[in-house]
């Protein structure tokens, strides 16, 4: 845990799941358990259609709201797209950018991801900027180079001040939704590399304060050992975030590791 001031940062990416009633019930269950994990920063990331319902369910609690994507223009003739100001208006504080499913299934590139990161910041949102290598890159020994390239291109043009509001999520593509998690050592190697690149590019303050999440088959059983690693500050949880008990258990396990380190 390198970021000095905050406890574990745990975000639940609900992907394309849950209608209004289920989304609101899940959010309410998490709010009800929040007092047991008060040192964590919790973010719920429902589909666009459930943002309003989840915003209402978490109102007055410390749980924050995030969206899964945004478009880089603020408004106009872009049928089907949702902009940063719209998400801000819907009470989002965070937005995922460049999730591997968007890169793989919807043709997002490092260039479009960069436009979205900049649009999120312009709208007052904190982007949760997702990067990660595919299996062939890992097997080919290209992981660290790929990560460095994604960082350089995705964050191009950002100032030090901008960087203070960016959350980075390292999600090896081969570990997402597969049940196959990176080992704590594999994840830590990449997290340390990311922090090192931030140090080179933006200096010690930015690097030391950056929140770097791990994502890819995080569950209660691996949360503790992953969070024990020095450069892992929290998690971006997919499948396991659809169950309040599992999501809260992940946060509790991370908190246990966090408290042991203090
Ligand atoms: P997973 O998804 O936890 O289901 O592997 C993580 C993510 O895609 O953010």
HEC readout, the chain: CCCCCCCCEEEEECCCCCCHHHHHHHHHHHHHHHHHHCCCEEEEECCHHHHHHHHHHHCCCCCEEEECCCECCCCCCCCCCCEHHHHHHCCCCEEEECCHHHHHHCCCCHHHHHHHHHHHHHCCCEEEEEECCCHHHHHCCCHHHHHHHHHHHHCCCCCHHHHCCCEEEECCHHHCCCCCCCCHHHHHHHHHHHHHHHHHHHCHHHHHHCEEEEECCCCHHHHHHHHCCCCCCEEEECHHHHCHHHHHHHHHHHHHHHHHHC
Cβ–Cβ < 8 Å for 217, 175: yes
pLDDT, average across residues 55-66? 97
Please give the distance, rounded to the nearest whole angstrom, from the Cα atom of residue 155 to the centre of ligand 1.
22
- 172 ligand 1 Cβ < 6 A: no
Q: What is the pLDDT of residues 62-87, one digit of tens each?
A: 999 999 999 999 999 999 999 999 99
Q: Which atom of ligand 1 is nearest to the CA of 169?
A: 9
What does the alpha-carbon distance between residue 93 and residue 165 come to, in Å, rounded to a whole number? 10
Please give the distance, rounded to the nearest whole angstrom, from the Cα atom of residue 182 to the centre of ligand 1.
12
Q: Which atom of ligand 1 is nearest to the CA of 217?
A: 5
Please give the distance, rounded to the nearest whole angstrom, from the Cα atom of residue 216 to the centre of ligand 1.
5
User: What pLDDT, on the 0 to 100 scale, is given for residue 262?
Assistant: 58
Please provide the average confidence, as pLDDT, over all residues in the chain.
95
Which of 34-43, 219-228, 249-258 is least confident?
34-43
- Whether the model clears a pTM of 0.85, i.e. scores above it, the answer is yes
Predicted confidence band at 261 (pLDDT cuts at 50, 70, 90)? confident
Q: Which atom of ligand 1 is nearest to the CA of 237?
A: 3
User: What pLDDT, on the 0 to 100 scale, is given for residue 4?
Assistant: 41
CA angle 156, 177, 94 (to 5 degrees): 40
Predicted confidence band at 179 (pLDDT cuts at 50, 70, 90)? confident
Residue 245 pLDDT > 60: yes
Q: Is 99 a catalytic residue?
A: yes
Please give the distance, rounded to the nearest whole angstrom, from the Cα atom of residue 64 to the centre of ligand 1.
19
Cβ–Cβ < 8 Å for 123, 94: no
42 or 34: which leads in pLDDT: 42
User: What pLDDT, on the 0 to 100 scale, is given for residue 178?
Assistant: 84
User: What pLDDT, on the 0 to 100 scale, is given for residue 177?
Assistant: 82
What does the alpha-carbon distance between residue 187 and residue 92 come to, in Å, rounded to a whole number? 28
Residue 5 pLDDT > 50: no
Task: From 170, 215, 218, 241, give the residue whose CB has the most ligand 1 atoms within 8 Å, as the site to mutate.
Answer: 215
Classify domain 9-261 by CATH architecture. Answer: Alpha-Beta Barrel (3.20)
Cβ–Cβ < 8 Å for 213, 9: yes
Q: Which two tokens stand for residue 144?
A: 């660290």
Find the farthest-apart pair of alpha carbons in the chain and give their distance in angstroms, rounded. Answer: 52
Catalytic residue among 108, 137, 171, 188: 171
What does the alpha-carbon distance between residue 189 and residue 34 come to, in Å, rounded to a whole number? 31
pLDDT, average across residues 130-144? 95
Closest CA to 47 of 77, 87, 75: 87
Please give the distance, rounded to the nearest whole angstrom, from the Cα atom of residue 217 to the centre of ligand 1.
6
- 215 ligand 1 Cβ < 6 A: yes
Predicted confidence band at 22 (pLDDT cuts at 50, 70, 90)? very high
Q: What is the pLDDT of residues 160-174, one digit of tens each?
A: 999 999 999 999 999
What does the alpha-carbon distance between residue 130 and residue 132 come to, in Å, rounded to a whole number? 7
- 177 ligand 1 Cβ < 6 A: yes
- 217 ligand 1 Cβ < 6 A: yes
pLDDT, average across residues 228-244? 97
Closest CA to 165 of 195, 127, 129, 203: 127
Q: Is 36 a catalytic residue?
A: no
């Amino acid at each position: 845990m390198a970021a000095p001031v905050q406890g574990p940062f745990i975000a639940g990416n609900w992907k394309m799941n849950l209608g209004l009633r289920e989304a609101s019930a899940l959010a309410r269950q998490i709010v009800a358990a929040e007092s047991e994990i008060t040192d964590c920063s919790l973010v719920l990331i429902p589909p666009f259609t459930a943002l309003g319902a989840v915003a209402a369910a978490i109102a007055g609690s410390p749980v924050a709201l995030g969206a899964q994507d945004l478009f880089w223009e603020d408004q106009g003739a872009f049928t089907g797209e949702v902009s940063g100001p719209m998400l801000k208006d819907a009470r989002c504080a965070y937005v995922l950018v460049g999730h591997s499913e968007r890169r793989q299934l919807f043709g997002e590139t490092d260039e479009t991801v960069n436009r979205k990161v900049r649009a999120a910041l312009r709208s007052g949102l904190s982007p949760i900027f997702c990067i990660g290598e595919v299996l062939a890159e890992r097997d080919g020994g290209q992981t660290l180079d790929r990560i460095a390239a994604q960082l350089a291109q995705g964050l191009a043009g950002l100032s030090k001040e901008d960087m203070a509001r960016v959350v980075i999520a390292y999600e090896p593509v081969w570990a997402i939704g597969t049940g196959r998690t990176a080992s704590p050592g594999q994840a830590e190697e990449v997290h340390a590399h990311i922090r090192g690149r931030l140090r080179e590019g933006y200096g010690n303050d930015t690097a030391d304060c950056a929140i770097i999440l791990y994502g890819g088959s995080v569950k209660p059983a691996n949360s503790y050992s992953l969070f024990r690693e020095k450069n892992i500050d929290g998690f971006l949880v997919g499948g396991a975030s659809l169950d309040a008990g599992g999501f809260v258990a992940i946060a509790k396990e991370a908190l246990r590791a966090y408290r042991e380190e203090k």
